[in-house]
Amino acid sequence: MSLFKNLKELIIINSYTKNKIGVDKVGAIFDRHFKDLGFECEIFKRELIGDHRLYKSKNTSKKRLLLLGHIDTVFPEGKFEEYKEDDTWVYGPGVCDMKGGNIVIVEALKKVQNKLDIKNIDILLVSDEESGSDDSKLLSKKLAKSYTHCLTYEAAGEENEIVTARKGVGTFFIDIKGKAAHAGNSYTSGCNANLEASYKLQELTKLTNLDLGTTLNVGKMEGGIGANTISPSAHLTFEIRYETKSERDRLLDNINQIVNKAYVDGTQSTLSGDIQRDVMSESKESLEFVKQLEQITQTTLKTEKRGGVSDANILSNAGVITLDGFGPFGDGDHTIKERALRSSFNQRVDLSTKIFSHFIKGEI
C-alpha cells in the first residue's frame, strides 16, 4: 500500500527537533505531497530549528478548516531510526507521533481530490512541538485568526477516541542563593540553600490536587558543593498540569508565595519559567462540532480528555473550535517501542475523507 511506503520514507529520516537538516528534509517531502494536491506552500524560515510550513488551498468561505501537525520527533540521531512492519503494527519514531497522523491527512486529501476541488482547508506543520512549541506557538496564535475550526492529527485513543480536552502545562525553575561556609569550622555562619530547597519542594508538592486533576512535580533538584560545605546555591525544576484555568491561577499564586518566603533565614529565591500551553477545555462549541461530525460521517465518535498537551491547546485558546486525536492509534510514543496499528490508518483516512468532503461542500 502506498500509504505505508510514504510513511517509511518519512520515518527513516531522523527529525529530532534540534536536527534542523533532518526536520527540513521531512518538510520537503510534505512540500511535494501537498504541491501535488494543488496547495500553495508558505515556508517560515528558521535558523536553528526546522522551518514551519503552511499549505494553503483556495479560500472561498467564512468557514475555514486548519489541519494541524508537527514534523519533529524526540530521539537524536543514532538512537531510534528503524522502520519495521508486521501484519498488525508498524514500528518507528513518529509512526503515531505524528508522522503517521500527517500521512493520514495526505491520503485523505488524495481521496477528496478525486471527487472535489479542494478549498477552505489549510495545513500547518510545525517543527518544534516536541520541545514545547516555544517558537511556533507565536505563529500558530497569529494564523489562528483565519480559521473557524481545527483538527489536530495526534494519535487516536485505543478505541479510536478523539480528544476534546487537554490539560494545561507549565515548566518553572527556582534558583536559590545561600551562603557558603566550612561545615566544621563555621557551620552557623553559613546559609544552607539545599535546606531551603527541601522546604520549598515539600510545599510545592502539597499543591497537587488529584481530585481536581492538578499535579505539581518537582522533577529535578540540584545544589551544593560537597559534604564539607554549607550549600551556597540550589536549583529546582518543576512542572504543573491542570484541567481548569481557576486551578492554573491557584497554582501560580501559591507558587509565588512559596518562592517569596524564606524558610531558611538569609536565603533568596528567584522564579523563572512560564505556562507552555494553556488548558484546552471541552466547550459547548467543540461538543456540537463532534455531533456534526457524527452526523455527516454516520459514525459514533468516542471522546476522551488527556493529561498530555499538544498544539491543539494553542489553537483552542486562540478561540478556534478544536478537536484532536485524528491520527492513527498507537502507543509507546517517546520510547523506542513506538508503534501504530495498521488498520487504524484506513479507519482514520476514511473518517477524514468524509469530513473534508463535507467541509468543502459547506455542509459543516
Is 2-167+280-360 in CATH node 3.40.630.10? yes
* pLDDT at res. 61: 83
* pLDDT at res. 1: 55
Kindly list the domain boundaries of the chain, sorted by start residue: 2-167+280-360, 168-277
The closest alpha carbon to 70, from 131, 30, 33, 125, belongs to 125
Residue with cell 492513527: 328
DSSP string, 159-212: T--EEEEE-EEEEEEEEEE-B-EETTTSGGG-B-HHHHHHHHHHHHHTT-BGGG
Angstrom distance (rounded) from CA 139 to CA 250: 29
The answer to whether 2-167+280-360 and 168-277 have equal CATH topology is no
Burial class (CB in 10 A: 0-12, 13-18, 19+), 62: exposed
Number of neighbours of residue 336 by Cβ within 10 angstroms: 12
CATH topology of domain 168-277: Alpha-Beta Plaits (3.30.70)
Angstrom distance (rounded) from CA 302 to CA 75: 31
Angstrom distance (rounded) from CA 89 to CA 341: 5
* pLDDT at res. 116: 87
Consecutive 10-residue averages of pLDDT for the chain (364 residues): 91 97 98 97 98 94 94 94 95 97 98 92 97 95 97 96 97 98 95 98 98 97 97 98 97 98 98 96 96 95 95 97 98 96 97 96 86
Residues near 91 by Cβ (< 8 Å), separated by ≥ 6? 82, 83, 84, 85, 337, 338, 339
